A and B are shown apart, each in its own frame.
Chain A
Amino acid sequence: SQQGEEDPQALSIQEGENATMNCSYKTSINNLQWYRQNSGRGLVHLILIRSNEREKHSGRLRVTLDTSKKSSSLLITASRAADTASYFCATVATTDSWGKLQFGAGTQVVVTP
């Protein structure tokens, strides 16, 4: 079973616009991570936010975490065509000591020039 649900499933925007995607999860977490997957490639880690953090930034990425609502959002500002990819949230449960990730189904983002 999937731990997380991403919303929307697909997103189409133009270059320069912001892209926002959301992730909801079910159990208490130690941390939540966002990964990017370009078509036909492996996953690349973008950002990790711990359960005691509420917001984190990395370059054009901004992640928020609301543990009371069991939800997170990923904002990509000033999107570029190279941001076209699938984005996945993944959680590590508080009961887990071995870093096992539970993934959502992902958001497909298409950025058109």
Chain B
Amino acid sequence: NAGVTQTPKFQVLKTGQSMTLQCAQDMNHNSMYWYRQDPGMGLRLIYYSASEGTTDKGEVPNGYNVSRLNKREFSLRLESAAPSQTSVYFCASMRGGLYEQYFGPGTRLTVT
């Protein structure tokens, strides 16, 4: 079991470029989440998917889009990157109900 995997691990973008962050889980979990973590702060929720086929906004969704491709995969897209999106991005999954979440290793994104 790999758990939650994320690609890429690191990425540098220029302002205005686009990219997609990939996330996959092999635990057959229903719910998946994207968070961002800025220095000295906890994680903030960008988007989540309560189940396959549904997505919804979190606390900081502006500038992002998501796709729940299937039960395993949940991608995060930056259409036009801005320096304010420089952050570490974490994907997480949860089996359903209100339980603990399992986190991926993160993607460190720098926008110049």
Residues of A participating in the B interface, judged by any CB pair closer than 8 Å:
1-2, 4, 30-31, 33, 35, 41-45, 48, 88, 90, 92, 96-106
Assess whether A104 is in contact with B42, with CB atoms less than 8 Å apart.
Answer: yes
Assess whether B90 is in contact with A43, with CB atoms less than 8 Å apart.
Answer: yes
- Cα A36 to Cα B45 in complex, Å, equals 18
Interface size class of B (residues with CB under 8 A): 20 to 34
Assess whether A99 is in contact with B97, with CB atoms less than 8 Å apart.
Answer: yes
Assess whether B99 is in contact with A48, with CB atoms less than 8 Å apart.
Answer: yes
Return chain B residues, CB-CB under 8 Å to A102.
Answer: 45, 59
> Which residue of chain A is the closest to B94 with respect to CB atoms?
A99
- Cα A43 to Cα B89 in complex, Å, equals 12
Return chain A residues, CB-CB under 8 Å to B103.
Answer: 35, 42-44
Return chain A residues, CB-CB under 8 Å to B2.
Answer: none
- Cα A2 to Cα B106 in complex, Å, equals 20
> Which residue of chain B is the closest to A43 with respect to CB atoms?
B103
- Cα A8 to Cα B20 in complex, Å, equals 37
- Cα A42 to Cα B99 in complex, Å, equals 18
Total residue contacts A-B, CB cutoff 8 A: 64
Return chain A residues, CB-CB under 8 Å to B44.
Answer: 2, 103
Instruction: Report B14 CB to chain A, min CB distance, Å.
Output: 24
Return chain A residues, CB-CB under 8 Å to B90.
Answer: 42-43
Return chain A residues, CB-CB under 8 Å to B56.
Answer: 98
Return chain A residues, CB-CB under 8 Å to B31.
Answer: 98-99
- Cα A41 to Cα B43 in complex, Å, equals 13
Assess whether A105 is in contact with B41, with CB atoms less than 8 Å apart.
Answer: yes
Instruction: Report B106 CB to chain A, min CB distance, Å.
Output: 5
Return chain A residues, CB-CB under 8 Å to B42.
Answer: 2, 4, 88, 90, 103-106
